[in-house]
Structure 1
Amino acid sequence: MDKFLTSSQKDHDPSPTSSNEPSCSKSEPEPKRKKCISAVWAHFDKLPNKQLAKCHYCGKEYKTSGNTSNLLEHLKRAHPLAQQVNNENTSSQLERYLTRTDVYGPTSSKKEAIDKAIAAMVATDLQPFSVVEDIGFRNLMRVVDPRYVMPCRKTLRDTHIKNMNESMTEKLKGILDSVDSCAITTDAWTSRANVSYLTVTCHFILNFELKTAVLSTKPLMDETNHSSLNIANTLREICDEWKVFDKLHTIVTDNAASMIKACELLKKKHLPCFAHTLNLVVQDALNLENVQNVLKITKRIVSYFKSSAIAYAKFKNAQGTENPCSLLQEVPTRWNSALQMIQRVLRTREPLTGTLLRCHNAPIPLSEDQFRILKDLCSLLEPFEKATKHASAAKGVTISLIAPAIFALSQSLEELHEQMLTPVGRETCEFLQSNVKKRLFSYENRSAPRLGTLLDPRFKKEGFQNPSNAQQAMLMLEGEVHNVIQGVRSKNSTEELPRNDEETPFLFKCMAGKIKEKNKSSRADSIITIRQYMEQRNAPHDSDPLQYWQINKEHLFALGQCAIKFLCIPASSAESERTFSKTGAIVTERRACLKPKQVNTLVFINKNQWLL
C-alpha cells in the first residue's frame, strides 16, 4: 500500500521543472515520432527503382512520387474489394483477406485456367467487360475459390480476350489452308452506334463435315459510301487476309444491286439468297388489295388485345385451359410473322370472337367470310414457311434443297388451287403461282443449285422440275468429274517412278509398247462413274448426304471431290443475318461505345465456338 501511494504521489506531484523557477538541468529531447506507413503498401511492392510500385493483383506498375494517391485510385478502380484500405475500422476478416499472400501467382496454371474460362464466358454469353467489377460476380468467385484474384476490365479485354482471339485465328487459318474450296456469305448492317458493318462467313467441308466460320465483322474500308466497288474492295481485303480468295467459287448475298455488282467486280459466281427471294414472293402476295383488307382487320383486333390488359385477361379466361394461347402481332420485316398471326387467330377463333362481343369499345369481330379467307391464306403460306426453314438451316447441306423446294412449291400450289374456299384465296394462289415462275424458276438454271441437287444422293435427277435442266446439269457434272480425274492422273504421272524393263515378265514385254501408247480417256471414265452413281437407289430422305460421300469416298472418288466443292455452298445468307443478331446483342445501349475492333473480336469468338 505504501508502495502504491508513493508511486501515485510521484505521478500527481508537480515536477520541479513545472515551477516558475528555471530548471538547472537540461531537458532530454523527445523521441522522434515514427512515420505512419500507408495501408496501400499491403497491396503494392516497391521496386528497386523507388519511384515505382507494382500491384500484387494485376502486376501493373505506377509511379509513387512520394505519395500513394494514384495507388489508392488504382485499388478503388480495378480492385473494389480493396476500397477500404485506409479505413481504420476495417474488419479483421476483410483486412486478412486484403493482406493475404496465399493467392495464386500471375503464372499459376489454376489462375490461367480460370482467367480463360471467364474470358470465354464474356464472349459466349455476351457479357460486358465490366462483369469482372460487378460485386455479385466477385463475391461468387471469392466463394468458389478464395485464392483467385479477379483480373481488371482492361486486363480481361487487352490480354485474355486478345490471346483467345489470336489463338482461334491461328487455328482457323491452319484449317483453311488445308481446304481446297469454300463459299462465303456476306451482308451489311448498321449498329445502334450508327456504324455500318460488313459480315463475312465462310462455309467449307472438312473431313466430310460441313463447317461454318465467321471471318470478319468490320466496317467498310470507306465508311462514307456503300458503293459496289467499296464492298468489293472490302471483301477482297478480308479474303486476302484469310488466304481464301483463290479457293472461293461462290458468294451468297441478298438481291441488292450493289452486292451483285461487287461479285461481278471480284469475278466470282453470285448466288442470290433463296430465303430472301422467297420473302419477296410472299410479300408481293400479302400486298394484294383484297389480302390487305383482311390483314388490316386482323392486325387491328390483335392490337386491341395487346393494348388492353383487361380484354387480354378476359380472352385468356375464355379459353378455359391451363396454358392459354397468346396472340401474335405481324412484324413488317418478317413475312412469316403474318402467317403466325393468322394461325393463332384461327386457333382461338371462338374465345376471341366471344371476348370481342363482351368488351366495351372493342373492334368488330371477323365475319365468317373473313375467317374463310384467313384459312385460305394459311394453307397457301405454310409451304413457303417450310421451304424457308429448310433453306435457312444452320446445320446440314442446303444448296441441294433449292431445286426440290421450287418443285414442291409449284406442285403444292397446283393442288391447293382446287381447295380454295374463297375467290380471294384463288386469286392469291394464282398470283403466287405466277410469282414463283417469275422469281424462282431461274434457280434451276444456275450451276450451284443444279450440281448441288445432282450430288445429293437423296434427289439426283428426280429433284428437278424441268427434265431439260436435269440433262444440262448432267453435262456440267460430267465436265467437273472429268477435270478431277484428269488432275489426279496428271499428278500421278509426275510422281510415278520409271520402271526397269529387266523386271518386266517375259509375257508382258511384247505388250509394253502398246500399253504405253494406249490413250486413257478421262471423259469415258467420268461418264462411267456418273452412271454408276445415278443407277444406285436414292438415299433415304432423312439421311446425311455428306455421310454418303464419306462412305463412298474411294469408290466414287471424283464425284466425292465435286460434292466437297459444291455441297458446302449455303442456299441463303441467313448465317450473316444470324451474326448481326449476335452483334446487336453485343452493341447495346450499355455498350454502344465499343470500338469496331472489339466488336469484331467478340463476334469472332462467339460465333466460332467450335474452334475452342
Structure 2
Amino acid sequence: MEKFLRITNKDSDSVSSSAGSSSAGSSSAGSSSAGSSSDFEPPCKRKKSASEVWKHFEKCKNKMFAKCRLCGKEYKTSGNTTNLSDHLKHVHPLKTAVTADNLSKIDDFVSRSEAYAPTSTKKTVLDKGLAQMVASDVQPFSIVDGVGFRNFVRLLDPKYVLPSRTTLQHVHTKNMYDETVVKLKSKLNAIEHCSITTDCWTSRANTNFITVTCHFIDDFKLKSAVLATQPLLNESNHCSNNIAETVKNICDEFVVFDKIETVVTDNAASMKKACELMQKKHLGCFAHSLNLIVQESLAIKNVQSVLKCVKSIVTYFKSSSIAYANLKKAQNTAKPLSLIQEVPTRWNSAFHMLKRVLLIREAICSVLLTTSKAPLPLTEDQFLLIEDICAILEPFETATLNTSASKTVTISLIIPTTLGLLIKLDNLKPKTKTIVGAETCSFLTTKLKSRLSPYETRTVTRMATILDPRFKKEGFHNPANADQAVIALENHLASFINVQNLCTTEEPPTNTKNTDLYSFVAEKVQQKPKNNRANAIIELRQFFEQRNASQGIDPLEYWKINETQFGSLAQCANKYLSVPATSTESERAFSKAGEIVNEKRAALKPKAVNILLFLSKNQWLSDE
C-alpha cells in the first residue's frame, strides 16, 4: 500500500512539473483539494429544459401517462417522451414542421385556439362531408391516416380534428347510410309501381355478390337506386332458389316486392327460373341480346380471320414501345391517336378497334413496312372488309347506347330499335364492297328476327311502345302486334278508369225555380249504365289522333303536360315506362364495386361494400 502511494505521489509530481509553473493558483488549488475536502465546492448543475413535446401534451393524474391536447389520446411516457414524439410525428406532423413560416403560423394559431368540440355543429358538418367524400369518390377509410391528407386538412381548417379510421367507418359513414336508407324508403313508399334489375358478380376476394337496383317514376321523372349489394343467402349454392330468396329478402326490406312489375336480368337460365319462383315477369336484357347477336356475326370464319390479323397488329404495337412511338410520329399530328385493343366480353370493343385502325391505316402500314420483324400490313381487300364491318356495326353501337341509358326512358325503344336495325341492314346490304360484308348483313338480319322479334309480343315492351308519344303504333314491325297492343291497353284502361272523376265537370250555377218539373232527367242519368270501356276507347282514340311527338322529346315530360287530358293513360305510362330495357345499371354497380374492392381493400367486409356502394350510387338522394 505504501508503495502504491509513493508511485501515485511520484506521478502527481511528474504531472505537476510537466505542467510548468504557468499558474501558481492551479498548483495551490491542487494541493488545497488534496489537502482538505471541506473547502471543495461542486459545480452548479444546469437545469434541463423541458421538451417541446410538452407544448402539446399534459400529464394525467397517473403521471405515467400523458394526454394529447390536440386529439385527446393518452400515451404511456415510460420516463421519456419517445411515444409522445412519435405520436406528433405521425398524427400531427404540422406540429413538428417548424421550418416553414406558414406552418409555424398555423401552429401559433392552433396553440391559441381550441379544436372544435366533438358535439359542435361545425364538427358534425365536416365529419358528414368527409364520409360523403369517401363514399362518392370511392376513397379508402384509411385516408384519414395519410400524412399528406392530414396536412391538407390542417391547412384548410386547423381547428378541425380528423376522426379516426374506425370512427369514420362505423359511426359517420354508418349514420349517413341509415339516413339515406330512410330517404329511399320514403320515396319507395309513395310509389305504386316499380321494376328491378339484378345480376351476380365476384369480387377480388372471391366473394360472390348479388346487386339489386330499383327503377321507378317520381313526379314524371325517372329514378334509379341501388337497393343492396350482398352475398347470396347460401354462398355455396348459386341455384335459382337461392337467387330468388336473396332478391326477395332485399325487396322485402325496402317494401317493394309487391310493387314490382318486371324483373330485368341477362338471359341466364338461373335468372329466368328465379323470376318464375318469385312469380314476377321476366324481361331479358336487350343489350345482352344484341351482344350475343353481334358476337355470333364476328365469329363468321372470314370475319374472324380479319379480326385476328388486326388484333395481332394491335398487340405488336402495344408490346413494343419503339414501334408505338414510331406510330405516333408517323401520324404527323399534334394529338396522335392510340390503338384500341379488343375486350372479348364486349363486342363494341372490336368495333372501336376496327374503326381506329381505319382512321390511322396509312401510319400503321408505313411503320409496319419499315420495321423489322413486324407483322405484315393488311391488304386492300382486308381494309374493304373492315370498312363493311364498321358500317354494319355502327347502327348496333347506336342501339346499344340508346337502350342502355339510365336517366331516360328506354323500354319503349326496344321494338322501334329492332325495326330500325332491320331497315338499316336492308339498306346497307346492296352498298357493301365485299361478299363477306353482304353475307354478314344477311346473317344479322336472320338473327335479329329470331332473337328480337319476340319482344313485340311481350306485354311490357309493346305497352311501353304504344304509350310512347314518339312511336305509338308506328314503332311496330308487324301491324298485327300493334293492334294487339292497343287491345291490351284498352282492357287495362277499362279496369281502373274512374268514371265518376271523368264525368265530373264544373257547371254554372243552376236556377232552382221549376227544377221539380224536370227531375225525371236526373233520375234517368243516374240509371244510365256506366261503361268504362267506352271511356277507355274515347281516351285512346283522342291520343292516337294526335300527331306523334318529335323524337327529341322526353315521353315523361309529354305525359306530365298532358296528364289533365289523358289522366288514365298517364297512370299507365308511370307503370310501364319505368322499366329499363337493359340490366346495365347492375353492371354499372359492378364497375363501381370494382373500384371499392380493389387490391388495397380486397379484404373489405361485405357489409362495408354494401354501405359504400349504396351511398355512392344513391348520391342523388342526398342532393335533393
TM-score (norm 2): 0.85
Q: Structure 1 residues 358, 63: CA separation in 2 closer, same or farther (over 3 Å shift)?
A: closer
Checking the alignment, whether the CA contact within 8 Å between 1:57 and 1:151 is kept in structure 2 is no
Corresponding residue SS for 1:199: strand
Residue 239 of structure 2 corresponds to 227
- Given residue 534 of structure 2, which amino acid in structure 1 is its aligned partner? A
State the Cα deviation string for residues 63-118 of structure 1 (Å, max 9, x = none).
98999999969957994549979xxxxx9989867866511111221221111111
| 1:506-551 deviation line (CA, Å, top 9, x unaligned) | 2452233322222211111011101111110111110110110000
Residues 117-139 of structure 1: CA deviation (Å, up to 9, x unaligned): 11111111111111111111111
Question: Does residue 526 of the first structure (1) align with residue 526 of the second (2)?
Answer: no
Q: Find the aligned partners of 2:111 and 2:57 in 1 and give their Cα distance.
A: 7
Q: Is the 8 A contact 1:64 1:70 kept in 2?
A: no
Matched, 1:149 2:161: yes
In 1, the alpha carbon distance for the partners of 2:514 and 2:589 equals 63
Distance 1:581 1:104 in 2: 38
Q: How far apart in 1 are the matches of 2:92 and 2:273?
A: 54
Q: Is the 8 A contact 2:354 2:386 kept in 1?
A: yes
Q: Does 1:106 align with 2:118?
A: yes
Structure 1 Cα separation of the partners of residues 578 and 611 of structure 2: 25
Contact 1:58 1:151 in 2 (8 A): no
Residue 587 of structure 2 is matched in structure 1 by: 577
Q: Are the equivalent residues in 1 in contact too, given 2:264–2:582 (CA < 8 A)?
A: yes
Q: 2 CA distance for matches of 1:555 and 1:402?
A: 27
- Gap change, CA 1:567 and 1:96, over 3 Å in 2: same
Distance in 2, Cα, partners of 1:46 & 1:167: 39
Two-structure CA RMSD over aligned residues (Å): 3.6
Verify the 8 A CA contact 1:46 1:52 in the aligned structure 2.
yes
Out of 536, 546, 564, the residue aligned to residue 536 of structure 1 is 546
> 8 Å contact 1:210–1:395 — kept in the other structure?
yes
User: Match for residue 5 of structure 2?
Assistant: none
- Whole-angstrom distance in 2 between the partners of 1:63 and 1:325: 58
Check the 8 A contact 1:583/1:603 in 2, yes or no: yes
Match for 2:593: what amino acid? T
Match of 1:560 among 552, 567, 570: 570
The 1:530–1:46 alpha-carbon spacing in structure 2 relative to 1, beyond 3 Å, is farther
1:405 counterpart residue number: 417
SS class of match (1:188):
strand
User: How far, CA to CA, are the matches of 1:242 and 1:300 in structure 2?
Assistant: 50
Deviations 1:473-517 (A, max 9, x none): 11111122112315x759999xxxxxxxx9994245223332222
Q: CA separation of 1:83/1:17 partners in 2, compared to 1, >3 Å: closer, same or farther?
A: farther
Structure 2 residue 344 is matched with structure 1 residue 332:
yes
Q: 2:443 aligns with which of 431, 434, 449?
A: 431
1:549 aligned to 542, 551, 559, which one? 559
Partner secondary structure for residue 440 of structure 1:
helix
Q: Greater shift after overlay, 234-243 or 67-76?
A: 67-76
CA distance in 1, matches of 2:68, 2:192: 50
Task: Indicate if the aligned counterparts of 1:78 and 1:152 stay in contact, CA closer than 8 A.
Answer: no
Distance 2:519 2:343 in 1: 79
- Structure 1 residues 344-493: aligned runs within 5 Å: 344-486=356-498
Counterparts of 1:207-218 in structure 2, within 5 Å, are 207-218=219-230
Moved more, 280-289 or 512-521: 512-521
- Name the larger-Rg structure: 2
Provide the rounded CA distance (Å) in 2 between the counterparts of 1:41 and 1:503: 97
CA–CA separation in structure 1 for the residues paired with 2:466 and 2:583: 22
Q: Which residue of 2 aligns with 1:138?
A: 150
CA distance in 2: counterparts of 1:394 and 1:40, whole angstroms:
58
Distance of aligned partners of 1:553 and 1:46 in 2 relative to their CA distance in 1, 3 Å threshold? farther
CA distance in 1, matches of 2:156, 2:182: 33
Report the secondary structure of 1:418's partner residue. Answer: helix
How has the CA–CA distance of structure 1 residues 312 and 63 changed in structure 2, closer, same or farther, with 3 Å as cutoff?
A: closer
Structure 1 residues 238-317: aligned runs within 5 Å: 238-317=250-329
How many residues of Structure 1 are paired with residues of Structure 2 in the alignment? 578
- Give the Cα–Cα distance (whole angstroms) in 2 for the partners of residues 391 and 504 of structure 1: 64
- C-alpha distance 171-492 of structure 1, shift in aligned 2 (>3 A): farther
- 1:607 pairs, out of 595, 617, 624, with 617
- Helix, strand or coil at the partner of 1:321: coil
Secondary structure of the structure 2 residue equivalent to 1:149: coil
SS in 1 for 2:257: coil
Q: 2:202 aligns to what?
A: 190
Quick one: distance in 2 between partners of 1:54 and 1:517?
A: 88
> Which residue type is aligned with residue 200 of structure 1?
V
Q: Is the 2:64–2:77 Cα contact (8 Å) retained in structure 1?
A: yes
What amino acid maps onto 1:586 in structure 2? Answer: I
Change (3 A) 1:217 1:50: farther
CA displacement at 1:18 relative to structure 2: 5.3
Cα deviation, 1:205-259, whole Å, max 9, x if unaligned, reads 0010000101101111110011000000000000000000011110000000000
User: What SS class does the counterpart of residue 186 from structure 1 fall into?
Assistant: strand
Whether the aligned pair in 1 keeps the contact of 2:53 and 2:85 (CA below 8 Å) is no
Q: Secondary structure at the match of 1:322?
A: coil
* 1:323 CA displacement: 1.4
- State the distance in 2 between where 1:555 and 1:186 align: 36
Q: Determine helix, strand or coil for the equivalent of 1:252.
A: strand
CA distance in 2, matches of 1:549, 1:248: 22
User: Percent identity between the aligned chains?
Assistant: 51
Q: Which range moves more in the overlay, 257-266 or 408-417?
A: 408-417
State the distance in 2 between where 1:58 and 1:246 align.
Answer: 50
The question of whether the paired residues in 1 share the 8 Å contact of 2:264 and 2:283 is answered with yes
**Equivalent residue for 2:522, pick from 501, 504, 512:** 512
Which 5+ residue runs of structure 2 have no aligned equivalent?
A: 1-30, 40-46, 98-102, 505-511
Gaps in structure 1 of 5+ consecutive residues: 1-11, 21-32, 86-90, 494-501
SS of 2:394's partner is: helix
Give distance in 1, aligned partners of 2:82 and 2:262: 57
Which letter does structure 2 place at the counterpart of 1:510? F
The TM-score normalised by the length of structure 1 is 0.86
The aligned amino acid for 1:576 is S
